[in-house]
Structure 1
Amino acid sequence: MSRTAPALDVDAILDDPGTRIIVCCGSGGVGKTTTAAALGLRAAERGRSVVVLTVDPAKRLAQAMGLTELDNTPRRVDGVGDGGELHAMMLDMKRTFDEIIEAHADADRARQILTNPFYQSLSSSFSGTQEYMAMEKLGQLRRSGDWDLIVVDTPPSRSALDFLDAPERLGRFLDGRLIRILTAPAKAGGRSAFKLINAGFGVVTGILTKVLGAQVLRDIQMFVSALDAVFGGFRQRAEQTYQLLQAPGTAFLVVAAPERDAMREASYFVERLAQERMPLAGVVVNRVHLSPAAALSSARSSAAAEDLEARGEHELTAAVLRLHAGRMQLAAREQRQREHFTSAHPTVPITQVPAMPEDVHDLAGLRQIGDLLASPPPESRATA
């Protein structure tokens, strides 16, 4: 880079006992899940007790860690050395929602909620549920005290930061007019209150009945009435987790690839984290193509290939020179993208990981990624 970005010291983050949570965020397809797993493994093999939580539905994390599956329960990863231990899990948002209901409602109320058709739909597919449950699960893991480091692999794209909005979104939902209408009968004392509500909001309830159907509306009313007793705890825990994410013991790592769209997303994440006063540790640029400083420029390689082809000589050499020229052009484009990001964010620490010849599929591959994260390769000096 023409501007030199501060180097991201990954091992300093992993070795600091004060670091309790690492959140990996970034757009889809940039190696975020692999980065989270590699960080978790490296921290465990440096003596820490680590759990990796992924909310990405891909199965790569389980496969790389030698697990047949991941679910809502942390599973121990075998083959981790040097005194630490590593667990991994995948968020099951419905099961997490069920656990919250079971833990914060009495048996009868919990049964009413869990068997309610509206709840079953809400807990499986309602917009924002996954992000909120990710926050809940993170809070549960932190409160358990079973691990001294939690590594979170967030969903792809900008939704990766939607959990930052969870407390506010939940508050808007709870305080909304529709919820007040639906909860008022139970709060006011039953059947007579329903008459009062129907008198005051007859038009609203009439429209809802026509749109949703009488049975669906009754399901929603019963669900909201039963859940009302535990709503306050939802909001309180979400706000506590939000504050936990802002605390000094949390480190956000933005993962990107050296491509225009991915680096643009990285800029968005960096700016949003600053806006929310979240502790950004740095940026990981994955799958970087590097070329030796002494290599031929792409222009010279292309010219040499053209000369050989014009003379009809050394076809294989000409093909290799063409390949080299393309590689140099790619390296130069990637370098310009990194320079553009650094110009916009000159104080953000960066590390880069070179493109690997094949996908990571086991612990050995994750160790290699961890080594590269902690000891990035020399900067490319490619010229086009």
Structure 2
Amino acid sequence: MRTVLVTGPGGSGRTTVAAATALAEARRGRRTLLLSGEAGGILGTGVGTGPRPVTDGLWAARTDPGAHFRSELLAFQERGGALLDLLGARRLEDEELTELPGSEQSALLRALRDAAAGEWDVLVVDLPPVPDAIALLGLPEQLRRYLRRLVPPERQAARALRPVLAQLAGVPMPAQWLYDTAARWEGELAAVQGLIEDRSTTVRLVAEPGPAGEDALCTARLGLALYGMDVDTLVANRVLPVASPDPWLAGLQAQQDKALRRWHEEWAQTAAVREAPHLGRDPRGLDDLAALDLPVGPPAAREPWGVAEGPAGDEGTLVWQLPLPGAVKEELHLVRRGDELVLTAGPFRRIVPLPAALRRCTVSGAGLTDGVLGVRFTPDPALWPRTR
């Protein structure tokens, strides 16, 4: 299955581009699902929480954070009913529940997991604006890390000893439902993370040509690279006609043209740049979306985070090469914590597990060259096998 994640600055037309992309793929004979929280108006039809047919080859589904939050909380309350009754807690009812911050992200992750299990040729996902989208894409990895720390899976092996341990420790041991819930969450998060990290999953960035769009693209490019995401297409949205007798429109067109030339030059090596024309109105309905004609291109060539031997004159070292286009040296920070590297790039932070070979090394330096961060490691003699 090919998965296309659509994001961009707020107000750039992400939902329109996502819908146009899904329709273009459906019209090329591919079974396509559009996942969006607000595409119904643009498609010109009602969209439910489950996949509903829109036209030949195209289905659409809407995420519902409120319903997802209520079902999850009520299910968790039911599983922990014995403890709540012991504490004398009053049960919450469906009618009194309203979603909390974070419900939208949780609902979208669940919808991604469900969509991944379907028999689709193409999945197009309308993501939130860039900063929230990057945080969402990194969420499964972060939550799995927290789960492993807070509820270690290896502790489940000692569940038969919990009554004895409870008597020795004088405190109750975690109930089995806690481990079962953690295992269920781990499985669901692993499925979503697998979809996000799959080589056939790419990002389609949307922005209006101009200074504001350029700044947002620089931030997006860095954040996506930090999480290893590939941008296959940059969609320049609402591009004005080339010539206009109106001086005001001519000035805007000239500003757009300047940005477009720069985008074609800067992105030529890594992603296609497509121009979506301004229709003179807000697109609505399948005919308007078809006029944009935004099919999916081939997946981008992914630059792996590889480990290489150190350069000549620096024998014995290993270099972990991390492509971070747009990174600024002054805004990069590295901290090693055990077998993990805490990497901060601009406003983004990711905790990355070290490759096996580097866990037996110490960090000896780092450098940024042509958008690639190279972290140097020196083998620790106390950990590497000795040769005679």
Post-superposition shift, 1:344?
A: 4.3
Aligned equivalents of 2:108 and 2:275: distance in 1?
Answer: 28
- Aligned partner of residue 265 in structure 1, secondary structure: helix
CA distance in 2, matches of 1:151, 1:365: 18
Residue matched to 1:136? 110
Give, in angstroms, the shift of residue 151 of structure 1: 0.7
- Which of 100, 105, 125 is the aligned partner of 2:100? 125
In structure 2, the partner of 1:325 is 247
Give 1:24 shift.
0.8
- Please tell me whether residue 165 in structure 1 is matched to residue 138 in structure 2: yes
Cα deviation code 1:80-108 (max 9, x no counterpart): 3xxx42111111134345667899x9x96
Alpha-carbon distance in structure 2 between the residues aligned to 1:357 and 1:265: 24
Letter in 1 for 2:27: E
Q: What is the TM-score normalised by the length of structure 1?
A: 0.62
1:228-255 alpha-carbon deviations (Å, 9 max, x no partner): 4222222233233223222232232111
The letter of the residue matching 1:91 is: T
2:6–2:125 Cα contact (<8 Å) kept: yes
1:332-365 deviations in whole A, cap 9, x for unaligned?
1122223444454442320111211111121111
Deviations 1:157-178 (A, max 9, x none): 410122221123313543667x
Q: CA RMSD in A?
A: 4.3
**Quick one: which of 360, 363, 366 aligns to 2:283?**
360
Matched, 1:76 2:48: no
In structure 1, runs of 5+ residues without a counterpart are 1-18, 181-185, 199-221, 296-320, 375-384
The CA distance in 2 between the partners of 1:262 and 1:118, in whole Å, is: 45
Equivalent in the alignment of 2:27: 45
- Equivalents in 2 of 1:154, 1:249: separation in Å? 17
**What do residues 115-153 of structure 1 show as CA deviations (whole Å, max 9, x unaligned)?**
9659999982143x43243222112112132x2211100
What is the match of residue 30 of structure 1?
12
Mapped partners of 2:130, 2:188: distance in 1:
25
User: Contact conserved, 2:70 with 2:94, CA < 8 A, in 1?
Assistant: no
Q: What are structure 2's unaligned runs of at least 5 residues? A: 85-89, 153-158, 298-388
**What is the identity, as a one-letter code, of the residue corresponding to 1:109?**
R
Cα shift at 1:331: 1.3
Code of the aligned partner of 1:255: V
Residues 118/231 of structure 1: CA separation in 2 closer, same or farther (3 Å cut): farther
SS in structure 1 of the partner of residue 60 of structure 2: strand
Between structure 1 and structure 2, the one with the greater Rg is: 1
SS at match of 1:359: coil
Report the structure, 1 or 2, having the larger helix content: 1
2:129 is equivalent to residue 156 of structure 1: yes
SS at 2:293's partner residue? helix
Higher mean displacement: 250-259 or 330-339: 330-339
Q: Write 1 or 2 for the structure with the bigger share of strand.
A: 2
Task: Report if the CA contact (8 A) 2:21-2:294 is conserved.
Answer: no
SS at structure 2 position matched to 1:124 = coil
SS of 1:144's equivalent in the other structure is coil
Q: Which amino acid aligns with 1:143?
A: A
Q: Aligned residues: percent identity?
A: 22
Pairs aligned (count): 286
From 74, 79, 86, the equivalent of 1:109 is 79
Q: For 1:234, what is the secondary structure of its paired residue? A: helix
- List structure 1 segments (4+ residues) > 6 angstroms apart after TM superposition: 98-103, 110-115, 118-123, 371-374
Q: 1:63 aligns with which of 23, 38, 41?
A: 41
Partner of 1:204: none
The aligned residue for residue 20 of structure 1 is 2
